[in-house]
Structure 1
Amino acid sequence: MSRAMNIALPEGEVTSRCQKAGVVISAIEPLPSGGTHLVCLTSEGAEQMRSEFKAKLLLGKVKRLPFYVPPSRW
């Protein structure tokens, strides 16, 4: 099963809900049309978050930003 999913929620909310569930994020990025692309560290974490975000999952192809580089957190 894929560790990646697209969710119709802002990045901050996705991050906080993953932290609350104890699921580690491998990668996260905003989607140009709104929403968030999330990659969990483990497939088990991804399954847990798919259940958590079931009503907000974006199905099908979703346009992503080319060459997205997250802002530095340093």
Structure 2
Amino acid sequence: MSRALNLNAPQEHVLATCVKQKVAITQIESLVSGGTRIVLKNGDDAATIGRIYKSKVITGPVSRIPARMMHA
């Protein structure tokens, strides 16, 4: 399983869930199209979060903010 997930959930909620599950995040960002993109430390952690958010996993394309704009 990929370590990256796109979720139809607010970033604050995803962060709180990861803390509760003791799952390590390597990157997190809000999506332009709504929701949150998260990259987890390993596939097992991604599987855990994927199970929790199974009905909220975005499987299609998403709009992201280009990295150079995020640091401006």
RMSD: 1.3
When the two structures are aligned, how many residues end up with a matched partner?
70
Runs of 4+ in 1 over 2 A off after TM superposition: none
Match for residue 35 of structure 2?
A: 35
Q: As a proportion of its length, which structure holds more helix? A: 2
Q: What SS is found at the alignment partner of 2:46?
A: helix
Deviations 1:30-67 (A, max 9, x none): 00011000101111000010001101111111111111
Matched, 1:25 2:17: no
User: Under a length normalisation based on structure 2, what TM-score does the superposition of the two structures give?
Assistant: 0.90
In the other structure, the counterpart of 1:7 is 7
